[in-house]
């Protein structure tokens, strides 16, 4: 059986939660970084991208697309799905974590001006502080295992780490974590998990997006202007 291949850009984006899941599940895989528009168009021509979007995970003879679908597949394969009776809680917390991320931590860099980038980042920080982090803080305060649900790592932890690590890594909004000590402890606890620890220390773990990263993504996704 060939090694799974995860195709995306050389940054976190929509692929990062799957990289975290593959690492936690100790599934070896190759990162394939898109560098040119032709590489992207070739995947479409080959019929590998159902909705003409990446990430793409080639695994077990299938072309999986959709970051949440990919994540669930890896969690099922890697025994990270949690107990059947915990599924609703796992889903709700996962969706909250995903919405927190969508507020704009990663999207801010793609704004037209530095002022708009800062505005989006500050808004995302404000929403996290008021709506999302208080919930995760409370849930983690009640957890005996240090994980969000039950006694083992699940999709909810993967999605929450993907979101909260942006807050931790972006100096402009990092101070807001001071009000959320359980979330800070969670970052440490999650970061020390087998598979995750090695991944986070490796060059495969990317920082939040830079200007160069944004240019690279635009080069691949934007049709050439005529
Ligand atoms: N719902 C999809 C969204 C993926 C997505 O928007 N991918 C972007 C790159 S970050 C893309 O491929 N865009 C190309 C396009 O929409 O034409 C997911 O969660 O994977």
Distance 14 CA to ligand 1 centre (A): 8
Quick one: 98 and 128 in the same domain?
Answer: yes
* Ligand 1 atom 1, closest CA: 66
Distance 85 CA to ligand 1 centre (A): 32
**What is the position in ligand 1's atom list of the atom closest to the CA of 13?**
10
206: left (phi over 0), alpha (psi -120 to 50) or beta: beta
Quick one: 60 and 10 in the same domain?
Answer: yes
Q: What is the pLDDT of residues 11-49, one digit of tens each?
A: 999 999 999 999 999 999 999 999 999 999 999 999 999
Quick one: 114 and 42 in the same domain?
Answer: no
Half-sphere exposure at residue 162, Cβ-oriented, CA atoms within 13 angstroms:
33
Distance 53 CA to ligand 1 centre (A): 4
Residue 147 in domain: yes
Q: What is the pLDDT of residues 119-161, one digit of tens each?
A: 999 999 999 999 999 999 999 999 999 999 999 999 999 999 9
Distance 66 CA to ligand 1 centre (A): 8
**What is the position in ligand 1's atom list of the atom closest to the CA of 221?**
14
> The domain that contains 49 carries what CATH number?
3.40.30.10
Q: What is the pLDDT of residues 96-125, one digit of tens each?
A: 999 999 999 989 999 999 999 999 999 999
pLDDT band at 226 (very low <50, low <70, confident <90, very high): low
Q: What is the pLDDT of residues 72-93, one digit of tens each?
A: 999 999 999 999 999 999 999 9
**What is the position in ligand 1's atom list of the atom closest to the CA of 55?**
20
Quick one: 144 and 160 in the same domain?
Answer: yes
Quick one: 117 and 143 in the same domain?
Answer: yes
Range(s) of the domain holding residue 70:
5-79+200-221
Q: What is the pLDDT of residues 206-219, one digit of tens each?
A: 999 999 999 999 99
Distance 40 CA to ligand 1 centre (A): 12
| Residue 225: per-residue pLDDT | 75
Q: Which of 54, 67, 98 to mutate to test the pocket of ligand 1 (most atoms within 8 A of CB)?
A: 54
Q: Taking 90 as the threshold, does the pLDDT of residue 7 lie above it?
A: yes
Residue 11 in domain: yes
Q: How far apart are CA 57 and CA 140, in angstroms?
A: 31
Q: What are the C-alpha distances in Å from 143 to residues 127, 157, 188? A: 24, 12, 15
Quick one: 92 and 69 in the same domain?
Answer: no
The total domain count for the chain is: 2
Quick one: 75 and 176 in the same domain?
Answer: no
Residue 226 in domain: no
Indicate whether residue 52 lines ligand 1 (CB < 6 A).
yes
Q: Taking 70 as the threshold, does the pLDDT of residue 2 lie above it?
A: yes
Q: What is the pLDDT of residues 164-222, one digit of tens each?
A: 999 999 999 999 999 999 999 999 999 999 999 999 999 999 999 999 999 999 999 99
Quick one: 93 and 189 in the same domain?
Answer: yes
Quick one: 11 and 93 in the same domain?
Answer: no
Nearest to 8 by CA among 33, 38, 35: 33
Quick one: 140 and 184 in the same domain?
Answer: yes
């Amino acid at each position: 059986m060939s090694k799974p291949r995860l195709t995306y850009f050389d940054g976190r984006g929509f692929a990062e939660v799957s990289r975290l899941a593959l690492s936690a599940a100790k599934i070896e895989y190759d990162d394939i970084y898109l560098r040119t528009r032709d590489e992207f168009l070739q995947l479409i021509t080959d019929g590998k991208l159902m909705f003409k979007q990446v990430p793409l995970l080639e695994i077990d003879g299938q072309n999986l697309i959709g970051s949440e679908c990919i994540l669930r597949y890896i969690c099922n394969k890697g025994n990270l799905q949690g107990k059947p009776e915990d599924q609703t809680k796992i889903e709700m917390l996962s969706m909250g974590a995903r919405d927190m991320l969508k507020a704009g931590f990663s999207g801010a860099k793609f704004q037209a001006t530095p002022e708009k980038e800062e505005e989006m980042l500050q808004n995302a920080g404000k929403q996290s502080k008021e709506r999302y982090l208080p919930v995760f803080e409370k849930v983690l305060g009640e957890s005996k295992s240090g994980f969000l649900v039950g006694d083992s790592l699940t999709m909810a932890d993967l999605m929450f780490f993907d979101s909260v690590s942006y807050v931790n890594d972006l100096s402009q909004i990092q101070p807001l974590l001071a009000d959320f000590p359980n979330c800070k402890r969670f970052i440490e606890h999650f970061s020390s998990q087998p598979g995750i620890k090695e991944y986070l220390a490796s060059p495969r773990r990317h920082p939040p997006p830079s200007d160069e990263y944004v240019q690279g993504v635009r080069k691949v996704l934007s049709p050439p202007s005529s």
